[in-house]
Amino acid sequence: MEPKSIEVDVCRIEQDPLRYGLHGVKSDIVGSHPLESAYATTRKTHEQMKRTILANTYGSAFPLKMDFERQILKRFQRPPGPIPSSMLGFEALTGGLEDFGFEDYLNDPRESETLRPVDMHHGMEVRRGISKGPACPSFI
């Protein structure tokens, strides 16, 4: 009888500092800012309250229908390339058009001089699960 062995991959994160940048341990342990986590929890409770109000007003099937529409509109994107996907339908459904973010009055980060151009082939490989890492590279 052959002894059975189980292969264990100790390091599951692929380390490629030239492609993805240096890995920092602090970012895994500590959140970015306390206000950011407070904003996220407030937004989450606001969405839950909105779902409850919609369910009480229009019936329990209406929030489920909105979830299906959200999933459909979230998947609909342009292929990675020079023209980014605006996801206008998803923003209209979630109420993102009413939000006034920093990119509305400062600058869009994609229009920065330090942003590396998007590699279309790598973006499609990440989307199809062939390659790992971010689909769009960050700032230089």
pLDDT digits (tens, 9 = 90+) for 102-133: 667 776 666 666 666 667 787 788 888 887 77
Is the pLDDT at 69 greater than 60? The verdict is yes
* All residues at 6 or more sequence positions from 13 whose CB lies less than 8 Å from its CB, including other chains: 23
Is the pLDDT at 61 greater than 90? The verdict is yes
pLDDT at 14: 59
pLDDT at 54: 93
> What is the CA angle 104-108-114, rounded to 5?
155
Is the pLDDT at 57 greater than 90? The verdict is yes
**Rounded (10°) angle between helices 34-58 and 61-75:** 130
pLDDT at 46: 92
Instruction: Report which listed range, 37-41, 67-71, 130-134, is most confident.
Output: 67-71
Q: What is the C-alpha separation between 25 and 72, in angstroms, rounded?
A: 35
Q: Are the beta carbons of 136 and 118 closer than 8 angstroms?
A: yes
pLDDT top residue among 122 and 21: 122
Q: What is the mean pLDDT of the chain?
A: 77
* All residues at 6 or more sequence positions from 85 whose CB lies less than 8 Å from its CB, including other chains: 77, 78
pLDDT at 109: 63
Domain ranges within the chain, ordered by starting residue: 31-128
**Residue 139 binned pLDDT confidence (cut-offs 50, 70, 90):** very low
Q: What is the total residue count of the chain?
A: 140
- Which helix (H) or strand (E) segment is 55 a member of? helix 34-58
Q: Are the beta carbons of 108 and 101 closer than 8 angstroms?
A: no
Q: What is the C-alpha separation between 74 and 57, in angstroms, rounded?
A: 25
Q: What is the C-alpha separation between 102 and 18, in angstroms, rounded?
A: 29
pLDDT at 23: 67
